[in-house]
Amino acid sequence: MSGGPGIVVQRWSPLSIGAMSCLGALLVLLAFGPFYLGPYLTDRLTTLLIYVIMAAMWNALAGYGGLVSVGQQAFFGLGAYAAIRLSHAGLEAYLALILAPLLVGLVSVPLSTFALRLQGGEFAIGMWVFAELAHLLVNLDGLVQGETGTSLIALSAFAPDTRRALNYWLALAVMTVLVAAVFLLLRSRVGASIQAIRDNQEAAASVGVRVMATKCLIFVLAAVGCAAAGALTLATLISFQPKTYFSVQWTAYMIFMTLVGGLGTFEGPVLGAVIFFAIETFFGGSGVWYLVGLGACALLFSLFLPRGIWGALRDRFGIALMPVGYRLQFRPRAGKAAT
């Protein structure tokens, strides 16, 4: 990394290298989860991994791409539906669950050419309309039997313990791949362009950014990610009822996790997913009060910590554990020894 005498472009810091090493170690530890966690914790952790995917995807789309969508449940539902269809067509169940998100990604490409012409609030609501439309169309499929729904029957062939472990590993692998993909994309030259479009679309075009193609990339990535979350949820629930999967609550959860953790920070949504997961674990059984609590929590955060927990920490201390940005470092003029 050069940059003229005395100036270095820094992308990793000792802190972030340490954090990434810890993260690597944690992933290795998690990979052996089913051997020491027990059935309950394995199931719960699978849910947490799905939440992390959802939060990371909504953050990539809204926090970095500036594309605020309240219709990501469209892809969540289509991911599950595509898995049902692929399995019905004779594919092995887990293969269907892996291929379904990619299929949804393909569908999202033509959709993006329409959706991305909308700006701001129009895009947000337009995506919700698309989600409702997708819901209705899936209901028309005879295989789904309307709101009665169906299930991924092929999964019943696995023993419960095997299925639990496979679901966990699949969720861990998909989460790792997707979060790594978002991370690498945001660290690349394209990642800087995505943020430039978020901050000022016309100025981005005027410095050479291909606006539509770049937006399309982040849109499709988020669609694949949300579809993966839907397919993984189907793997844990087995049953598929359109009403459940195409519910706007999924996007509401994504927004909650991202806002609490920190919109537009890489680490924040992961933290938000853990917080949401903890709240759900401890208060999820308390019915309506659980939802009231979630709403109050979101309200307090938007009032007092608008940048979320990680956003506030970053503003205060300038820390980044998974850095996607660039910092110039000014070194004292190097002597001969430095070469």
Partner 1 sequence: MAQGSSVLAAAGIVKRFNAFVAVAELDFRLGADEAVGIVGPNGAGKTTLLNVLAGTYRPSAGTVTFEGADVSRLDAASRCRLGIARSHQVPRPFGDMTVFENVFVAASMGGGHKGARAYDGSIESLRLCGMLEVANRPAETLGLLDRKRLELARALATDPKVLLLDEIGAGLTDGEAAELVAIIRELRRRHIAIVWIEHILHVLLQVVERLVCMDAGRVIAEGLPDEALAHPAVIEAYLGSGVT
Q: Which residue has the tokens 């939440």?
A: 51
Smallest distance from partner 1 to CB 274, Å: 25
User: Residues binding partner 1: what is the number (CB under 8 A)?
Assistant: 30
CA distance 99 to 150: 19
Task: Report the nearest approach of partner 1 to the CB of residue 307 (Å).
Answer: 10
**321: helix, strand or coil:** coil
Whether 242 contacts 138, CB under 8 Å: yes
Q: How far apart are CA 134 and CA 225, in angstroms?
A: 17
C-alpha 113/C-alpha 216 separation (Å) is 8
| Residue 335 is a binding residue for partner 1 (CB under 8 A) | no
**Which CB sits closer to partner 1, 63 or 77?**
63
Is 206 a binding residue for partner 1 by CB under 8 A? The answer is: yes
Q: Does 117 bind partner 1 (CB under 8 A)?
A: no
Residue 44 or 210: which CB sits closer to partner 1? 210
Residue among 85 and 314 whose Cβ is closer to partner 1:
314
| 208 is a site residue for partner 1 (CB under 8 A) | yes
Helix (H) or strand (E) holding 299: helix 288-304
For position 193 contacting partner 1 by CB under 8 A, the verdict is yes
Q: Determine phi and psi for 141, rounding to 5 degrees.
A: -70, 125
Contact between 207 and partner 1 by CB under 8 A: the answer reads yes
Q: 171 or 186: whose CB is closer to partner 1?
A: 186
Q: Is 1 in the site for partner 1 (CB under 8 A)?
A: yes
Q: What minimum distance in Å lies between the beta carbon of 172 and partner 1?
A: 32
Q: How many whole angstroms separate alpha carbon 31 and alpha carbon 173?
A: 9
Helix (H, G, I), strand (E, B) or coil at 240: strand
For position 16 contacting partner 1 by CB under 8 A, the verdict is no
Site membership for partner 1, residue 328 (CB under 8 A): yes
Nearest-angstrom CA–CA distance, 5 and 226: 46
- Which of 14, 199, 287, 335 is close enough to bind partner 1 by CB under 8 A? 199
What is the Cα 70 distance to its own chain's centre? Answer: 14
Residue 299 makes contact with partner 1 by CB under 8 A: no
Nearer of residues 47 and 193 to partner 1, judged by Cβ: 193
Residue of the chain from 189, 316, 333, 336 that contacts partner 1 (CB under 8 A): 189
Among 182, 196, 227, 257, binds partner 1 (CB under 8 A): 196
Question: 235 to 274, contacts with partner 1 by CB under 8 A?
Answer: 264
Q: How many CB atoms lie within 10 A of CB 182?
A: 26
What is the Cα–Cα distance from 138 to 305, expressed in whole angstroms?
39
d(CA 339, CA 336): 6
Minimum Å gap between C-beta 4 and partner 1 is 5
Name the residue among 309, 304, 256, 321 with its Cα closest to residue 59. 256
Out of 27, 121, 296, 327, the only residue in the binding site for partner 1 (CB under 8 A) is 327
> For the purposes of burial, counting CB atoms within 10 Å of the CB of 51, is it exposed (0-12), middle (13-18) or buried (19 or more)?
buried
Q: What share of the chain is helix, strand, coil (3-state, %, to 5)?
A: 75, 5, 20
Tell whether residue 9 is a contact of partner 1 (CB under 8 A).
Answer: yes
Residue 3 sits in the site that holds partner 1 (CB under 8 A): yes
Q: Which residues sit at the interface with partner 1, rule CB under 8 A?
A: 1-4, 7, 9, 189, 192-193, 195-196, 198-200, 202-211, 264, 325-328, 330
